[in-house]
């Protein structure tokens, strides 16, 4: 049974999801908050919104922590780098409040364009003033969307309903996506001078901080409107205030700010600014979706699913089709590592016919498999690359066009100390059943699981019989046996799946057989 600590107030939908799964849930009390590092010690997961900071100290204190759930999109209050180092998965709910944010974008844009908030305040003050609040229509205007991801694309679809022309900027977007949506893709410096209205939907990173600085704000079309319902800090707020005061911009609508809550309200008080206190996701529907989606994500992550939306996985989840490939990669890595039996130096992963979205996941899975026999549960998909880097293990991935008799093939070559190497090739049968199909240059097929006895021996009659007799006399049952030899070699290979581990003296007796050259045992989950 999982133990979940909820550190911030959360919609009851999350509690219902956890309860149905049989998880033990504790909601942090105000009295416990100063002692969070003490409280978190025995929990498998912690769920937060924006109030609680999950820093390196909290992560270190949570000795059983496997997952941090952020009920929302941003993870500014989670030390993602520290979580990655410690192998803690950080999951969020990036799509749960998309619709609310999209609709709030238009609420702000329309309020700004039609002077709704100013007219409302004037009327409530007892004035009947129509002439002071002449607005502009959206129809026929050019909307510039900065950040054309999931939200930006949906904003474009709704702008089309207002008969607006849409141009967009996104340095990471495939131009074919923009073309399919009938949107012109421009550079940022091309977009700003032609847009009547600009809306921002880009994340806050070191590259996007003050993306709209003083020079870029000055390059905007005179009289343009600016909407930021995305992330605070993307706009230089001091420069924006100057552009409003001197009349270069006709107005700005803001839901997010560089500092929340702000220390200065000068920008918000400007008469041509519509401002709301970061309420883009504050709808009943969004809060329920965020809570339930986060809860399900946390449970899936605790259950080992690789289809969760995690911010610190070294690859994007590829859905259910990735699971068999991850299993294949991990089993190949684990088998190779068990056969090396010592410290690792280099992992080479070659991929034939594996789709692009699965190439990095398979490589990381192979690395995790190779490291686990030495590091146990301390290594996972989150931190495998960091662990390898810290130990000086080189990881190389190569992709190849399809060739040979298998439509999909994963080959790994693991190098250990002293130049010792192991090479394995594997594929999936029926898209779900991992099989080894090549081993140290031999063609043979077996499932990489259970207790495997790997022998190399002289290619002479009677070896299998003598090995079987010796194991039988020791009470070790053979479940399967797989044999291989090559015409140009004088030795052969046998892989036997056993029902139990042979005792050391049995292995010594096998190694003493004159025909046997090497004897190795690997136990795989």
State the DSSP H helix or E strand holding residue 302, giving kind and residue range, or none if neither. helix 284-302
pLDDT tens digits for range 280-338: 988 999 989 999 999 999 999 898 776 677 888 887 766 667 788 889 999 999 999 98
- Considering the domain architecture, whether residues 247 and 122 belong to the same structural domain is answered as yes
For residue 459, report the phi and psi dihedrals to the nearest 5 degrees. -85, 75
Q: What is the pLDDT of residue 150?
A: 83
Name the nearest CA neighbour of 202 among 269, 151, 155.
151
Model confidence at 402: pLDDT above 80: no
Q: What is the pLDDT of residue 106?
A: 97
Q: What is the pLDDT of residue 320?
A: 64
- Considering the domain architecture, whether residues 126 and 170 belong to the same structural domain is answered as yes
pTM of the predicted model, to two decimals?
Answer: 0.65
Q: What is the pLDDT of residue 418?
A: 77
- Considering the domain architecture, whether residues 251 and 265 belong to the same structural domain is answered as yes
Residue range 418-433: mean pLDDT, rounded? 88
In whole angstroms, give the CA distance from residue 410 to residue 351: 5
Q: What is the mean pLDDT of the chain?
A: 90
- Considering the domain architecture, whether residues 197 and 269 belong to the same structural domain is answered as yes
In whole angstroms, give the CA distance from residue 476 to residue 491: 25
Q: For position 436, which CATH number holds?
A: 3.30.1330.90
Instruction: Scan for tokens 């081993």, then name that residue.
Output: 439
Q: What is the pLDDT of residue 197?
A: 98
- Considering the domain architecture, whether residues 426 and 495 belong to the same structural domain is answered as no
What percent of the chain stands above pLDDT 90? 61
In a domain, 281, yes or no: no
State the DSSP H helix or E strand holding residue 198, giving kind and residue range, or none if neither. strand 197-200
Q: Which of 210, 240, 275 is the last residue of a domain?
A: 275
In a domain, 22, yes or no: yes
* DSSP code at position 90: E
Residue 376's CB is within 10 A of a number of other CB atoms, namely 8
Residues contacting residue 274 through CB under 8 Å, at least 6 positions apart: 108, 111, 112, 116, 117, 251, 252, 253, 254
pLDDT tens digits for range 232-282: 999 999 999 999 999 999 999 999 999 999 999 999 999 999 999 999 988
Q: Which of 432, 448, 464 is the last residue of a domain?
A: 448
Select which of 163, 260, 417, 480 is catalytic. 260
Domain residue limits at 496? 449-525
Q: Which of 400, 421, 448 is the last residue of a domain?
A: 448
Spatial contact of 518 and 341, defined as CB atoms under 8 Å apart: no
- Least confident interval from 115-124, 189-198, 297-306, 407-416: 297-306
In a domain, 313, yes or no: no
pLDDT tens digits for range 180-199: 888 999 999 999 999 999 99
Model confidence at 506: pLDDT above 80: yes
- The strand ranges marked E within 244-338 are 251-254, 273-275
- Considering the domain architecture, whether residues 73 and 144 belong to the same structural domain is answered as no
In a domain, 351, yes or no: yes
pLDDT tens digits for range 67-114: 999 998 778 899 998 998 888 999 988 788 889 999 999 999 999 999
Q: How far is CA 449 from CA 33, 171, 412, in A?
A: 46, 45, 17
- Considering the domain architecture, whether residues 136 and 260 belong to the same structural domain is answered as yes
Query: How many CA atoms, within 13 angstroms, populate the side-chain half-sphere of residue 106?
Result: 19
In a domain, 280, yes or no: no
Residues contacting residue 487 through CB under 8 Å, at least 6 positions apart: none
pLDDT tens digits for range 17-36: 999 999 999 999 989 999 99
Q: What is the pLDDT of residue 373?
A: 82
Residue 405 banded pLDDT, cuts 50, 70, 90: confident
Q: For position 458, which CATH number holds?
A: 3.30.70.260
Q: What is the pLDDT of residue 378?
A: 67
Better-scored residue on pLDDT, 121 or 400: 121
Q: What is the pLDDT of residue 1?
A: 86
Select which of 70, 201, 216, 231 is catalytic. 231
State CA 361 to chain mean position distance. Answer: 11
Model confidence at 43: pLDDT above 80: yes
Catalytic status, residue 104: no
Catalytic status, residue 278: yes
In whole angstroms, give the CA distance from residue 427 to residue 429: 7
Residue 403 banded pLDDT, cuts 50, 70, 90: low
- Considering the domain architecture, whether residues 357 and 501 belong to the same structural domain is answered as no
3-state secondary structure of 140: coil
Select which of 26, 278, 346, 485 is catalytic. 278
What is the number of structural domains in the chain?
4
Q: For position 290, which CATH number holds?
A: 3.40.50.720
The sheet carrying 409-416 orders its strands as: 394-400, 344-352, 409-416, 421-429, 433-439, 442-446
Query: How many CA atoms, within 13 angstroms, populate the side-chain half-sphere of residue 309?
Result: 18
Catalytic status, residue 231: yes
Model confidence at 215: pLDDT above 90: yes
- Considering the domain architecture, whether residues 263 and 172 belong to the same structural domain is answered as yes
In a domain, 353, yes or no: yes
Q: What is the pLDDT of residue 179?
A: 84
In a domain, 84, yes or no: yes
Cis peptide bond prior to 261, omega within 30° of 0: yes
- Considering the domain architecture, whether residues 134 and 235 belong to the same structural domain is answered as yes
pLDDT tens digits for range 330-363: 999 999 998 887 788 899 999 998 888 889 989 9
Residue 414 banded pLDDT, cuts 50, 70, 90: very high
Query: How many CA atoms, within 13 angstroms, populate the side-chain half-sphere of residue 246?
Result: 9
Q: What is the pLDDT of residue 61?
A: 95
In whole angstroms, give the CA distance from residue 235 to residue 211: 6
pLDDT tens digits for range 369-385: 998 887 766 688 888 88
Q: How far is CA 166 from CA 141, 162, 203, 415, 470, in A?
A: 9, 11, 20, 54, 77
In a domain, 307, yes or no: no
- Considering the domain architecture, whether residues 194 and 86 belong to the same structural domain is answered as no
- Considering the domain architecture, whether residues 92 and 118 belong to the same structural domain is answered as no
């Amino acid at each position: 049974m999982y133990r979940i600590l909820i550190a911030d107030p959360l919609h009851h939908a999350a509690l219902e999801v956890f309860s149905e799964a049989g998880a033990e849930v504790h909601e942090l009390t105000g009295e416990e908050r100063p002692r969070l590092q003490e409280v978190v010690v025995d929990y498998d997961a912690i769920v937060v919104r924006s109030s609680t900071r999950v820093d390196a100290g909290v992560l270190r204190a949570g000795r059983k922590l496997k997952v941090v759930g952020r009920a929302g999109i941003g993870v500014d209050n989670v030390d993602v780098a520290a979580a990655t180092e410690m192998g803690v998965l950080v999951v969020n709910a990036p799509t749960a409040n998309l619709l609310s944010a999209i609709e709030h974008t238009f609420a702000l844009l329309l309020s700004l364009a039609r002077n709704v908030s100013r007219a409302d305040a004037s009327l409530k003050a007892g004035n009947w003033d129509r002439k002071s609040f002449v607005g502009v229509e959206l129809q026929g205007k050019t909307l510039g969307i900065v950040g054309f991801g999931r939200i930006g694309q949906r904003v474009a679809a709704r702008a089309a309903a207002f008969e607006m022309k849409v141009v967009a900027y996104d340095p990471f977007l495939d131009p074919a996506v923009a073309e399919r949506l009938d949107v012109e893709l421009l550079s940022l410096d091309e977009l700003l001078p032609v847009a009547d209205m600009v809306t921002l939907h880009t994340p806050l990173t070191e590259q996007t901080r003050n993306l709209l600085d003083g020079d870029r704000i000055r390059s905007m079309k005179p009289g343009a409107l600016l909407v930021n319902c995305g992330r605070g800090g993307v706009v230089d707020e001091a420069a924006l205030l100057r552009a409003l005061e001197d009349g270069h911009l006709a107005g700005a609508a803001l839901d997010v700010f560089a500092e929340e809550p702000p220390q200065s309200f000068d920008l918000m008080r400007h008469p041509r600014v519509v401002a709301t206190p970061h309420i883009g996701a504050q709808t009943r529907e969004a809060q329920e979706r965020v809570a339930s989606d986060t809860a399900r994500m946390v449970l899936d992550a605790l259950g080992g699913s690789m289809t969760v939306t995690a911010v610190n996985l070294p690859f994007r989840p590829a859905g259910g089709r990735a699971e068999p490939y991850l299993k294949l990669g991990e089993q190949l890595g684990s088998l190779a590592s068990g056969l090396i039996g010592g410290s690792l130096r280099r992992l080479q992963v070659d991929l034939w016919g594996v789709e692009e979205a699965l190439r990095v996941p398979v490589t990381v899975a192979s690395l995790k498999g190779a490291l686990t026999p030495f590091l146990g549960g301390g290594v996972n998909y989150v931190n495998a690359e960091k662990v390898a880097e810290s130990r000086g293990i080189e990881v190389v991935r190569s992709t190849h066009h399809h060739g040979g008799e298998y439509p999909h093939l994963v080959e790994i070559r693991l190098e250990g100390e002293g130049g010792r190497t192991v090479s394995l090739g594997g594929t999936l049968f029926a898209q779900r059943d991992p099989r080894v199909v090549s081993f140290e240059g031999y063609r043979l097929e077996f499932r990489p699981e259970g207790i495997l006895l790997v022998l190399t021996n002289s290619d002479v009659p009677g070896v299998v019989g003598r090995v079987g007799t010796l194991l039988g006399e020791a009470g070790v049952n053979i479940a399967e046996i797989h044999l291989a030899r090559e015409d140009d070699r004088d030795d052969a290979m046998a892989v036997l799946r056993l029902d139990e581990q042979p005792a050391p003296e049995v292995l010594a007796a096998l190694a003493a057989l004159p025909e046997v050259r090497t004897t190795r045992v690997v136990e795989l989950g």
